[in-house]
Chain A
Amino acid sequence: MNYEKLFNPTDEHQALREMVADFTRAEVEPQAAEFDAKGVLNVDLFRKLGELGLLGITIPEEGGGAGMDAVAAVIAHHELSKSDPGFCLAYLAHSMLFVNNFYWASNDEQRGRYLEKTISGEWIGGMGMTEPGAGTDVIGMTTTAVKDGDSYVLNGTKTYITNGCEGYVFLVYAKTGDRITAFIVDRDCPGFSTSHHIDKLGMRGSTMSELIFEDCRIPASNLLGKEGGGLTHMMRNLEIERLTLAAMSVGIADRCVEIMVRHGQERHTFGQPINQYGQIQRYIADGYAMTEAAKCLVYNVARDVGPDVHNRIGSDAAKLFAAPVGKMVADYAMQVMGGSGYCREYPVERLWRDAKLLEIGGGTLEAHQKNLTKDLARLHRI
């Protein structure tokens, strides 16, 4: 397998990459700084992702999607994050955390109600797992769901929920008894509300809020799968979530390498381009090598992730490796650019702020270390 085939296994993958790259250059890049400064999601641009068929990227054709695989999802996140990781995070929360998870967990009746409008982008979706007192310790969640006739009544609060402000529909995990169950909650369910926008350091092209359930009544038909089956859905979806988050780090790193290579030639000090200095060469060369390593790992793992193929070790490793690479290469780029890198006029400081989230969201580095150690010990039990 040659280098290019790893990243674009088929002609369709390559066509997808070119389409997303063209769209990103022409429409995503020009708005990124403005929406970062404002701290809001560009909803009109988000709906264009729906028109392009990107919101149902992994959904089979019979479900109204594009019928593509995890590599395709990685490509879309990789390319979008070269310009606007914040906007891409809204895309991820919608298309991976909601649409992909929902599709594989839902029945035909539920798909009939929610799928078309979320694949088109008319309804924005998100997912609620984290709580004020339960992040990595997901089993410790305290949101409850109690069956009452043909309804479930939910009580509790989810926090740090991407697309919370704009979202219409959410996939929500809650405890039924002592087991975790997945539900669909939409804005029309009485007792459901969202908090104010939670302001944040980076990823400001997407929003975050709490999801609040106060005797929130949802139809019993909004139960996903069966009671107590929530962990299955959660675990099945975590792999593609982590891979696409890792792909975002790769996109950030790729862009930062490109910026360093260009700036290293353009910027002169003491009568020569700064890429003639060993100190700068280290940032550019190390940054490139780390980026390529992260890219190869992420794409290699993506080949073995799908609705029926699992690679938890691989997806944990990919995000554990790629997230610090994104952060470090953004830092290298800022160092190479010096004062200009620190200024809002250039994209590096924004990418630098965005990169940090990927060491926290969708699994902290520590969660990946814990999972990997456990899974590796299980794999090589003595």
Chain B
Amino acid sequence: MKIGVCAKITPDADARIKVAADGQSIVLDGVKFGISDYDEYAIEEAIRTKEKHGGEIVSFTVGDASADKQLRSGALALGVDRSVLVTENPGDPLGIAKLLAAAIQKEGGFDVVFTGKSTIDQQNFQIGTMVAELLGWAHVTQVTALEFEGNQFKATRNMDAGIRQVVAGTLPAVISCEDGLNTVRYAKLPDIMKAKKKPLDSVGAGAIGGDAGAARSSVGNLAPPPARPAGRMIEGDAATAAKELVRLLRDEAKVL
């Protein structure tokens, strides 16, 4: 199978995020970057698919030229064969999706492309769906189990209330990956060393025949959540304190 995977470089999940003075971006100094968590599931699923069905894995990223470092350690060292890094900075998710779709089309011949269900920085949940639409392929979101047979796939996804939905379809397809689909492996040390020799193409939009187009939406401003007010200590013995707590929950917080 020819397997594609879309991976975004984002701040680490445990990075401390501060809004920059312009109110529209975050402070990047001292922030550690890595492949977005859900995209790690996508990479893992791509590798497992190759292990089972054979073939080749190509990853696609739209991002800064410095992303090559994370792509080597987070994608190529794990088992991705080649990486394409489109060094553009589109203004909205549609622009990113257009460039990814163009790169996937330019490369051609894919049976399946994996994406994370969303990225942990923007959490727009849009890329997989837009890429599928632009390519005209089948698409399933938030997949937690997946099988291939011939040119058919069967994907399980979680719906609300814990109901599981099984979706069948014909390849090619874009599969967006949810937590629980797999467990991400560690890069093996010899593979970390081999990754530096694997092909990583840094290209502009022109080289893949892509065009992000004008952004149709833009970020107005970013604001951290309001600081939590300080807690209040209730004095007195257990019985008195419990009564007072119930009174406060009912009369002040109005949650009872």
Q: Do A and B come from one complex?
A: yes
| Residue ranges of A at the interface with B (Cβ–Cβ < 8 Å) | 11-12, 14-16, 18-19, 22-23, 51-54, 57, 61, 65-68
Say whether B186 contacts A22, CB under 8 Å: yes
Question: Which residues of chain A are within 8 angstroms of B187 by Cβ–Cβ distance?
Answer: 15, 19
B191 within 8 A of A: yes
Complex Cα distance, B34 from A66, in Å, reads 23
Q: Which of B210-253 contact A (CB under 8 A)?
A: none
Given A11-B196, A12-B196, A15-B77, does the pair A53, B72 have CB atoms closer than 8 Å?
A: no
- A61 and B192 in contact, given A11-B72, A15-B72 (Cβ under 8 angstroms): no
Binary contact track B50-93/A, C-beta < 8 Å → 1, others 0: 00000000000000000001001100010000000000000000
Do A61 and B190 have beta carbons less than 8 Å apart?
Answer: yes
B106 within 8 A of A: no
**Measured CA separation A14–B68 after assembly (Å):** 13
Shortest C-beta distance, B14 to chain A (Å), equals 11
Q: List 28 A-B contacts (CB under 8 A).
A: A11-B72, A11-B73, A12-B192, A12-B193, A15-B73, A15-B187, A15-B192, A15-B195, A16-B192, A18-B73, A19-B186, A19-B187, A19-B189, A19-B192, A23-B186, A52-B188, A52-B189, A53-B189, A53-B191, A54-B189, A61-B190, A65-B190, A66-B189, A66-B190, A66-B193, A67-B190, A67-B193, A68-B193
Nearest A-chain residue to B34, judged by Cβ:
A18
CB closest residue in chain B, given A15: B73
Q: How far is the CB of B67 from chain A (nearest CB, A)?
A: 12
Evaluate contact between A14 and B73: CB separation under 8 angstroms. yes
Report Cα–Cα, A14/B70, bound state, in Å. Answer: 10
The size class of the interface chain B forms with chain A is 10 to 19
Measured CA separation A182–B157 after assembly (Å): 60
Given known contacts A11-B196, A12-B196, A57 and B73 CB-to-CB distance under 8 angstroms? no
A66 — which chain B residues lie within 8 A by C-beta?
189-190, 192-193
Interchain CB contact (< 8 A) of B189 among A11, A22, A57: A57
Nearest Cβ on chain B to A3's Cβ, whole angstroms: 12
In the complex the two chains form, what is the Cα distance from A18 to B12 in whole Å? Answer: 12
B220 nearest CB across to chain A (Å): 35
Shortest Cβ distance from residue A297 to the other chain B in the assembled complex, whole angstroms: 25
**Minimum distance in angstroms from A52 CB to a CB of chain B:** 5
Closest-by-CB residue of A relative to B68 is: A11
Within 8 A of A (CB), among B10-42: 34
Residues of A within 8 A of B188 (CB): 51-53
Give the top 8 A-B pairs by smallest Cβ distance, nearest first.
A53-B189, A15-B73, A66-B189, A53-B188, A53-B190, A15-B192, A66-B190, A19-B187
Q: Which residues from B are CB-within-8-Å of A14? A: 69, 73
A15 to B188, CA, bound (A): 10
**A61 to B189 CA separation, bound complex (whole angstroms):** 11
**With the chains together, A19 CA to B196 CA distance in Å?**
16
Q: Are A61 and B73 in contact (CB under 8 A)?
A: no
Q: Which of chain B's residues has its CB closest to A27's CB? A: B186
CB distance from A360 to the nearest CB of B (A): 30
**Shortest CB–CB separation between residue A184 and chain B, in angstroms?**
24
